[in-house]
Chains A and B, each alone.
Chain A
Amino acid sequence: MRNPGKDGQGTHHARFEAALDTLRYVHGEIARENLQLRKDPQRPEAADVAQTRSLEERVKVLEMKNRDLSLRLETATERRPEGVQEDLLANLYVAGFNLHRALEWDSVLTSMTEILLDLVGARQFGIFLLNRDGETLSQVASERGQGHNPRSIPLSAGIMGVVAKTGIPFFDGDRQEGDFRNPVACVPLKADGRLLGVIQVHSLFTQKKSLTSKDHELFTLLAETAGTALMSALLRRRFLSRANGKPVAWHELLLQVEMVSDDAGPAASPAGAHVDESEGRRA
């Protein structure tokens, strides 16, 4: 008789191995293409200035993709000792919990700052958001960066620009000290898959020698969750500002949610939930 448990494990293992093989293959391909682009002897003579620039951009992107894939591969193949795994889970739990519970714009930024300072060990960093023009980024929060970072950064500028355009995070795992132009890490902030801004880390605390795969996972969580938290806070602030400065009661917010749910049809309402109108809150 077949042993379903063993088979399940085998299938899982095979799938994991297949995924690893794919990652290794893509990693190798990108490394090869990267090398070819760097060594191309025709490039300086044949290409005009614009083409050279475009190729250089492509090299930058490939290098970043390469680094990202290397780190992912390292993370995927790494067998963490139990203690390290628990450390990672503790960090992810705390970071996720704090980002999910923050509702105010300032609270979200404070949570992000605390995560970068206390969990990652980032000493100097900035949080930048995309401006309405979609062409520039502005700093909305920073640690030891006041006055050092330019107020408005075009999307074409440096590593930050490449990260913002491609959505690929940048990590320099070997350095502890960098600056605005040569950051240690630069991570895109996304909401619903769309770019909202970037986090750029310029230096780490002296006791933190370099970024690890644990930090990589924390940054991934930040990239996905912090962007959504910022967007929620922004929507809430916009809704409250429509009240023209009048205080809005909590139950009014919930009634708005109810209206949105009604618009979306019955499937959007959580099963069994209803608004107790006598008390004006969800019962």
Chain B
Amino acid sequence: MSPMTFLIVEDSPTMRQLISFSLRRFPECRIIEAVDGADALRRMAFEEIDFVLTDINMPIMDGLKLVALLRSNARTRDLPIIIITTEGADEDRQRGLDLGADAYIPKPVEAELLVRRVEEVLRDRRAEACLRP
């Protein structure tokens, strides 16, 4: 697997660290962190991102708005996106998936599950790419 650049969008520093720590299992990966959706878009203007993991409830711009914007932009339309959800956010989680997120992970995040989900999404994306004419 070639080195990847992950973007973690999360307002809690503890969660950002935990996700970042978990993703280090991907060899030589780069990790960029953003504190909300608006910050994520700013960073994406200057960085080439391969994978986005975003929380939903964040100040300034939430994760759902971010997913919608990324899916409506030609440059970021096909980016793999995982949303991270908390309890009581079933509707938000469904909306996120409807907006085009590839998967979701419930909080509290378990490193093992997170890595497995990322691998599954990447595998699905590769399979889709192979099936494309």
Residues of A within 8 A of B (CB): 83-84, 86-87, 90-91, 93-95, 97-98, 111, 114-115, 117-121, 123, 205-208
Q: Is the CB of A94 within 8 A of B107?
A: no
Secondary structure call for the A interface: helix
Residue of A nearest to B115 (CB): A83
Q: Is the CB of B106 within 8 A of A207?
A: yes
Residue of B nearest to A86 (CB): B111
**Contacting residue for B109 out of A118, A123, A206, CB 8 A:** A118
The CA-CA distance from A157 to B112 in the complex, in Å, is: 40
Total inter-chain residue pairs, C-beta < 8 Å: 58
**B12 in contact (CB, < 8 A):** yes
* A90 surroundings in chain B (CB, below 8 A): 18, 21-22, 111
* A93 surroundings in chain B (CB, below 8 A): 21
Q: Is the CB of A114 within 8 A of B15?
A: yes
**B3 in contact (CB, < 8 A):** no
**B73 in contact (CB, < 8 A):** no
Restricting to B62-113, which residues have a CB under 8 Å from any CB of A? 86-88, 106-112
The CA-CA distance from A121 to B15 in the complex, in Å, is: 12
Question: 5 additional contacts, CB 8 Å, given A98-B13, A98-B17, A117-B107?
Answer: A84-B112, A93-B21, A94-B14, A111-B14, A118-B108
Q: A94-B21, A205-B86 are in contact. Are A118 and B112 (CB under 8 A)?
A: no
Q: Is the CB of A97 within 8 A of B17?
A: yes
Q: Is the CB of B112 within 8 A of A83?
A: yes
Interface size class of chain B, counting residues whose CB lies under 8 Å from the partner chain = 10 to 19
The CA-CA distance from A119 to B15 in the complex, in Å, is: 8
* B22 surroundings in chain A (CB, below 8 A): 90
* B108 surroundings in chain A (CB, below 8 A): 117-121, 205, 208
* B112 surroundings in chain A (CB, below 8 A): 83-84, 86-87
**Contacting residue for A121 out of B12, B13, B88, B107, CB 8 A:** B107
* A98 surroundings in chain B (CB, below 8 A): 13-14, 17
**Contacting residue for A118 out of B15, B21, B87, CB 8 A:** B15
* A97 surroundings in chain B (CB, below 8 A): 17
The CA-CA distance from A99 to B75 in the complex, in Å, is: 39
Q: Is the CB of A94 within 8 A of B86?
A: no
* B107 surroundings in chain A (CB, below 8 A): 117-118, 121, 205, 207
Q: Is the CB of B87 within 8 A of A119?
A: no
* B88 surroundings in chain A (CB, below 8 A): 206
The CA-CA distance from A205 to B13 in the complex, in Å, is: 20
* B86 surroundings in chain A (CB, below 8 A): 205
Q: A94-B21, A206-B87, A207-B87 are in contact. Are A118 and B106 (CB under 8 A)?
A: no
Residue of B nearest to A85 (CB): B112
* B15 surroundings in chain A (CB, below 8 A): 114, 118
Can you name 13 A-B residue pairings with CB atoms under 8 Å?
A90-B22, A98-B13, A98-B17, A115-B14, A118-B12, A118-B14, A118-B15, A120-B108, A121-B108, A123-B87, A205-B86, A207-B106, A207-B107
